[in-house]
Structure 1
Amino acid sequence: MSEHFSIEELLRLTDEDVKMSEKQKKVVEAAIEIFADKGFAAASTSEIAKKAGVAEGTIFRHYQTKKDLLFAIVKPTITKFAAPFLVKNFIGEISKQKHEDPEQLMRFILENRYEFVKKNQPVVKILLQEVFFHEEFRGEIRKVIETHAMEKLKELIVFFQEKGEMVEMPPETVLRMIVTSIMGFLFARFILLPDLDWDDEEEKEYTIQFLLHGLMKK
């Protein structure tokens, strides 16, 4: 994968199912930038058309509503981009590593996902912003995670539990705590409060220490 997210790559993935004209590609590219910057609700089709350099009617020739345009961006992102890159390849990378203890595993997950979100920020931002408002997106993401990720991650948790190196809780609960802590940091860092004066290495270390030891002073 390239160093930074490529809008052309998303358009190529989308284009496998529906052949896009050059004008349609410009509309999708403009929509990605505006949705990521302002959010779906605050964006207008007139603004998207202006940025794309097309008449507003061009948008409605291809997409009946603004939500249809959002789906044209997000659904292929989830099913063709998120599935192979966000989850499937990630699980493959985890499987290749020899994680000697839970700390090493959690550091790998945090660093790997940090780099992914940093490189693919525009589309990840749209996903995270809109997933709360659209059940269709949540259903697609659940399907991707259940298909590609859940069992392998649970196996790793059980492995460390059987070695006596991880707390005895249901694997699903442990996984939820790891994921919500890491995703909470990434959401704050790149989506909610990106303009803060972040010390990324320090915040990553705080996140790991929280996962390892909780909040109680030893």
Structure 2
Amino acid sequence: MSDQEKLIEQLFDSEDDLTEKQKKIIIAAIESFAEKGYASTSTSEIAKKAGVAEGTIFRHYKTKKDLLLFIVAPMMAKLLAPFVIKDLNKVLNQKYDRFEDFLRAMIENRLKFLNNNMDLFKILIQEIPFQPELKEQFKEHIVLKVYDRFKQIVEHYQEKGQIIDLPPTRVIRMAASSIFGYLIARNLIFPEVDWDDETEIEETIRFIMHGLSPKR
């Protein structure tokens, strides 16, 4: 069984009763959306990659957007959210003496997760800004479930005097912008570069801490 077939099994329950043609369409759509983006992918390209007639796609999905949402909705609810929450909790539930140690564990954890789920990550990053439905699902399944925990962590390190006294929401935004900027550049914009991840992670942490550390 291929990796994409395993992914289909994870995304959809047995009661969804997908036909073999539907499975081929979904696999082709995931690969095409990840490679070219939703807007630049035509249903005829998906049909050709899946080895089916274009009309077969429209018998199952009224529009290309319906196909996107059919893939991403269970991806968010059944695969991405549980893995994100589970993996993040491994980091969030640990106690680190220093905020920079927490950041290091967080970045290393996310980098490993993205390497194992790159096609899904590409689709989400590319489409969330343009698809309101996906944005709401992302907020519901992931952001709202981890925000309170992040806020507690920021307040913990602020009480220890390691982070400047800013609203936790602002601290989270600043740190997340730097971390995801690195991860997106590393995996989407310049994947062909020979990245020295250890050095990049340390430089990212140093940059964040320079802005968040209280002045001595």
What is the TM-score with the length of structure 2 in the denominator? 0.91
The one-letter code sitting in structure 2 at the alignment partner of 1:72 is: F
CA distance in 2 between counterparts of 1:100 and 1:6 reads: 39
Shift of 1:9: 4.1
Q: Identity of paired residues, percent? A: 46
Which residue of structure 2 aligns with residue 18 of structure 1?
Answer: 16
Shift of 1:153: 1.0
Match for residue 81 of structure 1 among 79, 82, 105? 79
Matched, 1:163 2:180: no
CA distance in 1 between counterparts of 2:179 and 2:16 reads: 35
Matched, 1:67 2:68: no
Which residue of structure 2 aligns with residue 175 of structure 1?
Answer: 172
Which residue of structure 2 aligns with residue 37 of structure 1?
Answer: 35
Which residue of structure 1 aligns with residue 53 of structure 2?
Answer: 55
Instruction: Show structure 1 runs of 4+ deviating over 4 A.
Output: none
CA distance in 2 between counterparts of 1:101 and 1:6 reads: 38
Which residue of structure 1 aligns with residue 106 of structure 2?
Answer: 109
The one-letter code sitting in structure 1 at the alignment partner of 2:81 is: A
The count of corresponding residues between Structure 1 and Structure 2 is: 211
CA distance in 2 between counterparts of 1:38 and 1:45 reads: 13
- Per-residue CA shift, 1:89-139, capped at 9, x if unaligned? 033202442211101100011110011111111110011011111111111
Judge conservation of contact 1:91–1:148 (CA < 8 Å) in 2.
no
CA distance in 2 between counterparts of 1:32 and 1:146 reads: 23
Matched, 1:135 2:112: no
Matched, 1:190 2:187: yes
Which residue of structure 1 aligns with residue 142 of structure 2?
Answer: 145
Structure 2 residue ranges without an equivalent (≥5): none
- Per-residue CA shift, 1:53-84, capped at 9, x if unaligned? 11111111111111111111111111222210
Against the structure 1 CA distance between its residues 186 and 40, is the aligned structure 2 distance closer, same or farther, given a 3 Å change threshold? same
Which shifted more, 44-53 or 197-206?
197-206
Give the secondary structure class of the aligned counterpart of 2:77.
helix
CA distance in 1 between counterparts of 2:58 and 2:81 reads: 29
Q: CA RMSD in A?
A: 2.0
CA distance in 2 between counterparts of 1:81 and 1:116 reads: 12
Shift of 1:10: 3.4
Judge conservation of contact 2:21–2:52 (CA < 8 Å) in 1.
yes
The one-letter code sitting in structure 1 at the alignment partner of 2:80 is: A
Which residue of structure 1 aligns with residue 151 of structure 2?
Answer: 154
CA distance in 2 between counterparts of 1:90 and 1:194 reads: 23
Which residue of structure 2 aligns with residue 200 of structure 1?
Answer: 197
Which shifted more, 73-82 or 170-179?
73-82
Shift of 1:146: 4.1
Judge conservation of contact 2:88–2:109 (CA < 8 Å) in 1.
no
Which shifted more, 189-198 or 159-168?
189-198
Shift of 1:199: 2.5
Against the structure 1 CA distance between its residues 138 and 31, is the aligned structure 2 distance closer, same or farther, given a 3 Å change threshold? same
Structure 1 residue ranges without an equivalent (≥5): none
